């Protein structure tokens, strides 16, 4: 069933007859994802300037342990090794990071942009061997639905953060309802992350896609249609939410540092 | 207006590009230009075609490096300031000039378990299906078997894994059977092992070249990958199924 190399000659890396500028898309993905990875890693290791009043950066929420008023279980735990750098973000970021890393859209995008596997459609690859997602390590991508479960929990937590961002403390310590630019930034973040998470291919399967007969389960069918609707623009949601979650952290960081001042609308 | 073509000429043993210049008029597609060259300059040029309407899937070739149906590629959409390259599909052995041997695909199709319907719903031996149950499958049935998706897939094209991977066309074929509301066959173990669905790394090139605009990756391959996860990689799912005592056989 297989063909010999004389029947199907192998092309060298980058070899193609394409006449268009095929490398622009992988380059944009490389720069976009690369910038986000560098910024988010830097921000996660800072361990400071991650909250400003009633706002908390989505990179640091939920703050399980930490020094801010948003911390769930108090300050840094005593069992944390002294030699190991501590940042509240490091305790939680693996979950949304894992969700994006194993996402079907991102997989296709970073295989091309970071691993040239292939660099672009009909463009020659740098290596001869290929394992695909059939064996270790990429077989681990099948864990995606478990990261989805965690991502859904994060959506709930970030929604609660938006609720908290609606309540501002005055100098006497009394809370009053209000809306600041930061509230809107965090609310848009939840909407975009929700659009990305609720359009997930695994969710689409779990809510109804596994069925062969939708007519037997009308609720599943409606849920499947809703997820499919978001799934059609999954790439767009993925990029918008990625950009905005980074911007949300930057906004709160700069407000906390006093570089930017949050404007109260209400 | 004149256009220059670089057409691959040769057979399984050797070959190369030859240049032809021909007159282009309004409304022409690449296949028209190839026929014009065949009629006036290269009467021995081999090219497969049939319907000239994008429905038979015969005139598959690579135009400027991308797999396309020649009959559906308008000359007005191509840059004419440089030569237009036309080659046979690269994922299959060349027979002559623009014709490649796609018979491997027909052998693969025979390996996929056939449709096995449940017992008839009515005494007259007929079945009842709801439209919402058949919508998904109808998209896959649009396939014209042009094999452009097979050609662009790097697992076949670059890694030559024809003996381990059935390719996007047959994953879609398997999806059409697997998701059919009447079908009772289980193809998931074969999809994982013999058909090599794990080799697909979701580049979506197949979706990009499909002339019928079938969402091959999002609607066909990824849902099948999720079904493989259900059966082989999801311990919580197994517990859930044991708890709800749902049968694994027959349409769900």
Mean pLDDT throughout A170-175?
A: 87
Q: Compute the C-alpha angle B49/B143/B27, nearest 5°.
A: 45
Q: What is the pTM of this model?
A: 0.94
> Which chain A residues are Cβ-neighbours of B203 within 8 angstroms?
108, 111-112, 118, 121
Helical (H) or strand (E) element with A27: helix A24-46
Look at residue B252 and give its three-state secondary structure.
coil
Question: Would you call A235 an interface residue with chain B, using a CB distance cutoff of 8 Å?
Answer: no
Show me where the domains of chain B are located: 2-100, 103-244
| Adjacent-strand bridge partners of B23 | B2
Shortest Cα distance from B59 to chain A (angstroms)?
Answer: 18
Question: Would you call A23 an interface residue with chain B, using a CB distance cutoff of 8 Å?
Answer: no
* Widest pairwise Cα distance in chain A: 82
The per-residue pLDDT for B243 is 84
ipTM of the complex: 0.94
Mean pLDDT throughout B28-39?
A: 98
Look at residue B63 and give its three-state secondary structure.
strand
SS3 of chain B: helix, strand, coil, percent, to 5:
40, 15, 45
Residue of B nearest to A110 (CA): B203
Token look-up 């630019």 returns A181
Mean pLDDT throughout A131-159?
A: 97
Q: Which class in CATH covers the domain with range B2-100?
A: alpha beta
Mean pLDDT throughout A46-54?
A: 95
Q: For residues A108 and A124, what is the distance between their CA atoms, to the nearest angstrom?
A: 16
Phi, psi (rounded to 5 degrees) for A145: -65, -25
Phi, psi (rounded to 5 degrees) for A256: -65, -35
Contact A215 B251 (CB under 8 A): no
**Helices within A181-233 (DSSP H only):** 181-197, 201-204, 218-231
pLDDT tens-digit series, residues A226-249:
999 999 999 999 999 999 999 999
For A233, half-sphere exposure in the C-beta direction (CA atoms, 13 angstrom radius) is: 12
Q: In the structure encoding, which two tokens stand for residue B77, read together?
A: 């959409």
Centroid of chain to Cα A129: 30
The per-residue pLDDT for A235 is 98
Mean pLDDT throughout A114-143?
A: 95
pLDDT tens-digit series, residues B2-19:
999 999 999 999 999 999
Helical (H) or strand (E) element with A111: helix A104-115
Look at residue A217 and give its three-state secondary structure.
coil
Cβ pair B236, B242 in contact under 8 A: no
The per-residue pLDDT for B131 is 96
B103-244 CATH choice from 1.20.58.220, 1.10.20.10, 1.10.1060.10, 1.10.3470.10: 1.10.1060.10
CB atoms within 10 A of CB B212: 16
Nearest by CB: A132 against B104, B155, B158 = B155
B residues 63-102 closer than 8 Å to A (CB): 64-67, 79, 82, 85, 87, 90-93
Question: Would you call B109 an interface residue with chain A, using a CB distance cutoff of 8 Å?
Answer: no
Nearest by CB: B203 against A111, A130, A231 = A111
Contact A212 B12 (CB under 8 A): no
């Amino acid at each position: 069933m297989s063909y010999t190399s004389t029947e199907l000659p192998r092309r060298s890396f980058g070899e193609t007859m394409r006449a268009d500028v095929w490398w622009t898309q992988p380059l944009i993905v490389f720069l976009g994802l690369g910038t986000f990875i560098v910024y988010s890693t830097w921000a996660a290791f800072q361990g400071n300037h991650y909250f400003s009043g009633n706002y908390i950066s989505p990179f640091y929420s939920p703050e399980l342990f930490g020094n801010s008023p948003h911390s769930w279980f108090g300050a840094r735990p005593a069992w944390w090794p002294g030699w190991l750098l501590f940042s509240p973000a490091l305790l939680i970021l693996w979950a949304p990071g894992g969700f994006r890393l194993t996402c079907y859209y991102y997989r296709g995008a970073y295989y091309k942009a970071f691993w040239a596997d292939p660099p672009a459609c009909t463009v020659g690859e740098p290596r001869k061997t290929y394992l695909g997602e059939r064996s270790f390590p990429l077989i681990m991508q099948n864990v995606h639905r478990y990261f989805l479960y965690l991502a859904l929990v994060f959506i709930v937590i970030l929604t609660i953060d938006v609720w908290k961002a609606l309540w501002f403390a005055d100098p006497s310590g009394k809370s009053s309802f209000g809306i600041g630019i930061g509230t809107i930034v965090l609310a848009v973040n939840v909407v975009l992350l929700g659009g990305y998470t609720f359009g997930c291919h695994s969710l689409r399967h779990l809510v109804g896609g596994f069925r062969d007969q939708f007519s037997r389960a009308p609720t599943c069918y409606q849920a499947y249609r809703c997820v499919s609707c978001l799934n059609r623009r999954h790439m767009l949601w993925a990029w918008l939410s990625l950009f905005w979650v980074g911007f949300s952290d930057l906004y709160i960081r700069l407000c906390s540092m006093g570089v930017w001042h949050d404007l109260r609308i209400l | 207006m004149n256009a220059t073509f670089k057409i691959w000429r040769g057979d399984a043993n050797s070959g190369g590009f030859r240049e032809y210049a021909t007159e282009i008029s309004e409304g022409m597609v690449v296949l028209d230009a190839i026929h014009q060259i065949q009629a006036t300059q290269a009467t021995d040029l081999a090219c497969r075609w049939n319907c000239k309407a994008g429905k038979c899937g015969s005139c598959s070739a690579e135009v400027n490096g991308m797999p396309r149906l020649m009959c559906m590629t308008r000359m007005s959409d191509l840059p004419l300031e440089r030569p237009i390259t036309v080659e046979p599909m690269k994922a299959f052995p060349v027979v002559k000039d623009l014709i490649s041997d796609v018979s491997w695909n027909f052998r693969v199709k025979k390996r996929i378990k056939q449709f096995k319907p449940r017992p008839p719903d009515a005494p007259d031996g007929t079945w009842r299906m709801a439209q919402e149950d058949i919508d998904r499958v109808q998209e896959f049935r649009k396939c014209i078997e042009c094999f452009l998706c097979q050609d662009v897939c790097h697992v076949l094209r670059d890694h030559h894994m024809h003996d381990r991977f059935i390719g996007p066309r047959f994953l879609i074929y398997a999806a059409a059977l697997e998701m059919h509301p009447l079908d009772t066959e289980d193809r998931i173990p074969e999809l994982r092992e013999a058909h090599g669905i794990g080799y697909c790394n979701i580049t979506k090139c197949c979706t990009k070249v499909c002339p019928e605009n079938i969402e091959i990756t999002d609607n066909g391959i990824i849902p099948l990958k999720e079904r493989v996860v259900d059966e082989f990689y999801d311990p919580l799912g197994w517990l859930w199924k044991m708890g709800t005592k749902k049968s694994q056989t027959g349409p769900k």
